[in-house]
A and B are shown apart, each in its own frame.
Chain A
Amino acid sequence: MSTLALQQSPGSPSGAGAYLTQMLAVAAAEAVKLRNDPVELVSRSVQPILWLVLFGQVMAHVRGLATGGSYIDFLAPGILAQSVLFVAIFYGLSAIWERDLGVLHRYMVSPAPRSALVIGKALASSIRGICQSIVIYLCAALLGVRLSLQPAHMLGVLMLIVLASALFSTFSLIIACIVKTLERFMGVGQFLTMPIFFASNAIYPLAMMPAWLKAISRANPLSYEVDGLRSLMLAGGQSQFGLGVDYSVLLAIIAALVVAATRMYPRLTQ
């Protein structure tokens, strides 16, 4: 007849250990789901391959697009960033879907801090982003992109993918908390993706843009992700803004988004 509080069970993690356990539990559930049904991962990787193979091959013949090297080298980091964006930006959809099913209620009544749930979901999105990146690296290698395979560079790319996935999925989660229904989210999601993608340095250099578009691109986190990727993914790649700036901008935006999402996420189940 004991209703022992879980905090009292000997051996229960506490403090930072508890936070990490709960946060990683959310991300691990996503990894298990991907393992149970990997079909989605395969279908998701078709689109970026088409961009590289079709768009890349044709645009390579347009003079002036590439800055120095070949256009396909220029394009590969942009397409990597794009595919991570396209997967992450629809992450809010699954939050609404989980709410409609009832799964979200189970997270919301657990003692896990809301921020642990938000960051756990962001990391879950990062797992998908990493899977996408592996496919794109293989494809880029086959197309003869001059990839840098230095471990430090690849680790840097991995960190950028994790950060960018977390950033755009948390942004998406906030949108989901505002619009609240699947139908409205679909409309907004489509509307957001294209501006984020085209108002960035993903497929053409900032130098080609008119001043107003350049200003928008400089405020777009995707540009900082792509800039970091261009310097780390390619052999002899160069960063325009500086890697420190790239990481700092992404981290600062993530922090702000996590704070906002932590406040808004529980409203989905109200």
Chain B
Amino acid sequence: MNPMDAKPSHVAAVGASGDAAPGSPIVDVDGLTRRFGALVAVDHVSLQIHAGETFALIGPNGAGKSTLMKMLTTMLPPTAGRATIAGFDVARDPQAVRAHIGYVPQLLSADGDLSGQENMLLSARLYLIPRGERRKRVAEALAMMGLTEAKDRLVRTYSGGMARRLEIAQSTLHRPAVLFMDEPTVGLDPAGRRAVWRHVAELRAQIGAAVVFSTHYMDEAEEVCDRLALIHEGRIAAMGTPAELRAASGPDATLDDVFNDLTGARIGAGGEA
């Protein structure tokens, strides 16, 4: 039920990581919990994600995916439990964690009143890319995301897919160890979705970051991720590779069936067919 090392862990050089030994998970979550008053949004979640792995968090709206991601990106302090990213504790050393992660929130985080290039230069400064390298790094990242042509246009004129790609570029300029994306393809047309994932794959090949994303598109999760966790009412209902989870529910089962078997709920709500 918990094939932790389905994929060989290949932690290469985890820069200035805190106390992470080589081979240890790049994301290590133990009993993480967040309460809002009486509501338990995330309830004792434990999971490990290894360097270079692509990991999906799947569940219906309100399952706790976003709250979990907010805690892992240091935006929200946990009520209980512990999480480390690249060896740094999210509660005790948030600033070091932030230096090692990229985050693409569900909302549009690129500034619509700035051009693509201006947005990138802002991120280059916030992430302390050396002055002499900024222009070059920004140009390379824009080219990689297929945005060179559009770099001088204000971002509010971008399509949804272009804006998402820009956000991915601006949140990975510093070559983070983990890229978090909250519902990265929601609202995009199929071509836009494919373009986003193609570019994420290229980026991973280049910088070797682990990618952690939430979605309620089952097909997308199956196609893209190495492992996934099904989240239901703040808890992990199941975790493993897509094939392992399907196998547990019978030969012809889809991930949607798996989720249904485990929770009695459907994921589809809010998702696209």
Contacts and interface: CB of A to CB of B under 8 A. Distances in A.
A194 interface: no
A29 B109 CA distance: 14
B51 A6 contact: no
B103 to A, nearest CB: 4
Interface in B203-236: 207-209
Given A3-B175, A101-B107, A12 B100 contact: no
Interface string A94-117: 000000111101111111110000
B157 to A, nearest CB: 12
Contacts of B118: 29, 32
B126 A112 contact: yes
B108 interface: yes
Contact of B114 (A18, A33, A266, A269): A33
Q: Which of A26, A37, A101 has the most CB of B within 10 A?
A: A101
B74 to A, nearest CB: 7
Contacts of A22: 125-126, 128
Instruction: Please classify the interface of chain B as helix (H, G, I), strand (E, B), loop, or mixed, using the class held by over half of its residues.
Output: loop
A85 B1 CA distance: 61
B107 A102 contact: yes
Contacts of B95: 111, 113
Nearest to B127: A6
Contacts of A1: 10, 12-13, 52, 208
A181 to B, nearest CB: 16
A3 B10 CA distance: 12
A14 B207 CA distance: 23
Q: How large is the interface on A (under 10, 10 to 19, 20 to 34, 35 or more residues)?
A: 35 or more
17 contacts: A1-B10, A3-B51, A3-B86, A3-B207, A3-B208, A6-B174, A7-B128, A13-B128, A25-B122, A25-B126, A29-B122, A32-B114, A103-B110, A106-B171, A107-B126, A109-B103, A111-B99
Interface of A: 1-14, 18, 21-22, 24-26, 28-29, 32-33, 36-37, 100-103, 105-113, 266, 269-270
Interface of B: 10, 12-17, 26, 51-52, 70, 73-76, 86, 95-96, 98-103, 105-115, 118, 122-123, 125-133, 154, 167, 170-171, 174-177, 207-209
Given A5-B100, A111-B128, 4 more contacts: A11-B130, A103-B110, A111-B98, A270-B70
